[in-house]
Structure 1
Amino acid sequence: MERIILLCMVSICLSAVQAQKFLFNQKWGPAGYKEWRGVNEETAMDKIIKTNELKATQIIDGTTTLREGDIAVSSGRPPRICFARSCLWSKSVDGHVYIAYNLSPEYNEMDTMLIKTGMANIEQGTCVRFVPRTHQRDYIDIQPKSGCWSYLGARGGRQTVSLQIPNCVQVGVVSHEFMHTLGFVHEQSRLDRDNYVTIMWPNISRDRLRNFEKFRTDTLDLPYDYGSILHFGKYAYSQRGEPTVLPKDNSNIQLGQTSSLSHIDRLKINRLYNCDDMDD
């Protein structure tokens, strides 16, 4: 009897191991999931994809969906892309762009510190300043909802930025979402992107092809930025762990950022908000 019990226990353990291998296998994992070769190679967008896809956060609620993986779009409003200056936050007479925010009490002290570090990441070398909301009509409401996402640009009134605990409360992810809040789409969505990167369409999960659309946005006369915090990583939405975005001419170019804005990201902010006097 003891031998039978022992054999049953071994069988159960082996079954559990096999099940785990199945659940986390690259081939069968959710779209965009990949066993990364090293944590330092993950871009901010890689982390967002991993969180949003594993949580199945493509439909936020009955009225809001995500496009490009983390840009919230309300179905009650006409589909909208922020075409550069069409959805800017107001600029103060002192030359700064003040964005009022409300921070959920669900965030602990460490969460709050990381979110504020992400804010400081945006503020450094730019005219943007995040300020706690007092009376402002237009503000962002930062909440630990399901997934990492933001609306694009200023919408008027209260607008949610979702930073789920703990996956989205990382400096690079926070900075990435706030760039969307300021009005920027992903870098490889630029209309001229095919001059700089090759989209490997056969390697992309069939139901995520729309995340690689191009949009006619203002490039602000700035060069294509492979290192933008808003750039997809090389394996974004890969269905079998193969590259989906490859730089032209030099496949060794690093795409995206892990935790920092690029120099060009900062130039984008200052040019979009007419703070060119802060350009380096």
Structure 2
Amino acid sequence: MDMMLTPEQEAMLHGKRAAGDLTTLWEDVDGFPLIPFTFTDHEVDRTPVLLAIHVWQASTCIQFLEVETDYVGPHLRFQRNGDACMSNVGRDSSTGQDVYISVACEMSHGMLLRILGHAIGLWNEEMRSDRDSYVRIISNNVLEDELGFFLINGDDTHGVPYDYCSIMHSHERIFTGNGEGTIATLDPLYKSSIGRTQGLSHMDLLQANRMYQCSDKLQSECSLASDPCVNYGFLNRSCLCACPEGTSGDFCETMTNTYNGNCLMPLSEVITEPTTIVSPSVDRSLWEDPTEIRFSKYIQAPANHVIVLIFDKFDIYPRTQHYVAEDMAVDMCWYDSVELCLDNLYDGEWYCGTELQGQNITSVGDSMVLHFLTRLNFMPGFSVTVNFVEVP
């Protein structure tokens, strides 16, 4: 869990209070939103936190200002926490609010960006009001105490499209209670795209800019009568249009690809012919983080056929005890895993170790999905032959 909710926010999410603005934004100072912050103990490493602050500040109109520890007024207080990396969503106190930073959090630039996203006012992507058009929540696999984090947030999406690439999107087994999946993308090829924390997506920045009406505020400084950016571009501090992937031109006016098309993992694909799928060796030219490799294969056989997978080789990292709650560990495939969705496109079984070595697996119908994830990428891997067999 990386998001702390106020009692009012929890009540609104659970429908116990009338719907209203769930998020309180930071107020403007000298025309632009200002977030004061301080470090309340010396254990927190300032450098990675300040770097994450710089990334948000450089691409939005939001300003951060370091203040003294005795500062009176709304501000963020960064402090050490042994295990947790957490923030409130938006501004929730007139006297200061804690942001908890663990050592593991300091070592993950992406996690710090996500925590600051919450502090700015961004919710988890899968809590958006339109999420059911993009993902399916598999409630049966979710820890009962954490089901509240899958409730729909009715806040304004500001016209920003749903973003599988968002750093605010949780991974496919967030809050799992049994080691199985909790979030599935309706387009199965994108299941490997969610939950990555390499950096901010364009839509993350657009959401923050629209939330704080940055374009309106920058137009005056840039001597512009209106916002010239189109196709989800936004005006930046240099008075230029920051354009999403898949667009070009000074004003993002030319579309060359869909936005989410640029979010697809390099080896994710649709398979319509017999083939062999092999887990990749470390190819550092393909991956932002070559130790973490993900891909999804949507396999479609001809009508009146089933898919038969023959695992000629299967040797990946075995099951380990993984804590899914403070006092609950599950024996699960965490570091390396293959998920096979045989009778639907969303919820399958996860395998690891040598569990599929020499196995023949048959789909229920004419389609199935194979997802692969390795967080370590040093085991021998797997090789699977894909055949289509006609149903008599």
Q: What is the TM-score when the length of structure 2 is the normalising length?
A: 0.49
Per the alignment, residue 265 of structure 1 pairs with 204
3-state DSSP of counterpart to 1:168: helix
Within the candidate set 172, 176, 195, 1:256 is matched to 195
Instruction: State whether structure 2 residue 21 is matched by structure 1 residue 89.
Output: no
Give the conservation status (yes or no) of the 8 Å contact 1:73–1:80. Answer: no
Write the distance in 2 (CA, Å) between the matches of 1:202 and 1:76: 27
Letter paired with 1:153 = G
Per the alignment, residue 51 of structure 2 pairs with 117
Give the conservation status (yes or no) of the 8 Å contact 1:85–1:272. Answer: no
**Displacement of 1:207 after TM fit?**
3.1
**Displacement of 1:217 after TM fit?**
1.1
Q: Structure 1 92/75 Cα, relative in aligned 2: closer, same or farther at 3 Å?
A: closer
Letter paired with 2:97 = Q
Letter paired with 1:154 = R
Per the alignment, residue 158 of structure 1 pairs with 96
1:195-242 deviation per Cα after TM superposition (whole angstroms, max 9, x unaligned): 001112222233322221111111000100111111110111222322
**Displacement of 1:139 after TM fit?**
1.1
Per the alignment, residue 188 of structure 1 pairs with 126
Write the distance in 2 (CA, Å) between the matches of 1:208 and 1:157: 29
Write the distance in 1 (CA, Å) between the matches of 2:23 and 2:98: 19
Per the alignment, residue 72 of structure 1 pairs with 4
3-state DSSP of counterpart to 1:113: helix
Instruction: State whether structure 2 residue 149 is matched by structure 1 residue 217.
Output: no
Write the distance in 1 (CA, Å) between the matches of 2:170 and 2:10: 26
Write the distance in 2 (CA, Å) between the matches of 1:122 and 1:105: 23
3-state DSSP of counterpart to 1:142: strand
Q: Structure 1 145/251 Cα, relative in aligned 2: closer, same or farther at 3 Å?
A: same
Per the alignment, residue 77 of structure 2 pairs with 141
Q: Structure 1 184/84 Cα, relative in aligned 2: closer, same or farther at 3 Å?
A: farther
Q: Which moves more between the two structures, 213-222 or 128-137? A: 128-137
Write the distance in 2 (CA, Å) between the matches of 1:270 and 1:231: 18
Instruction: State whether structure 2 residue 100 is matched by structure 1 residue 168.
Output: no
Write the distance in 2 (CA, Å) between the matches of 1:243 and 1:85: 28
Give the conservation status (yes or no) of the 8 Å contact 1:71–1:150. Answer: yes
1:149-168 deviation per Cα after TM superposition (whole angstroms, max 9, x unaligned): 1112112221111112x122
Letter paired with 1:89 = W
Instruction: State whether structure 2 residue 41 is matched by structure 1 residue 105.
Output: yes
**Displacement of 1:77 after TM fit?**
9.2
Higher relative strand content:
2
Write the distance in 1 (CA, Å) between the matches of 2:24 and 2:197: 27
**Displacement of 1:243 after TM fit?**
1.8
Write the distance in 2 (CA, Å) between the matches of 1:116 and 1:139: 15
Larger Rg: 2
**Displacement of 1:76 after TM fit?**
9.2
**Displacement of 1:97 after TM fit?**
2.2
Higher relative helix content:
1
3-state DSSP of counterpart to 1:219: coil
Letter paired with 1:150 = S
Per the alignment, residue 33 of structure 1 pairs with none
3-state DSSP of counterpart to 2:29: coil
**Displacement of 1:136 after TM fit?**
5.7
Identity of matched residues, %: 26
Long gaps (5+) in structure 1: 1-68
Write the distance in 1 (CA, Å) between the matches of 2:20 and 2:109: 26
Per the alignment, residue 131 of structure 1 pairs with 65
CA RMSD of aligned residues (A): 2.5
Write the distance in 2 (CA, Å) between the matches of 1:245 and 1:76: 26
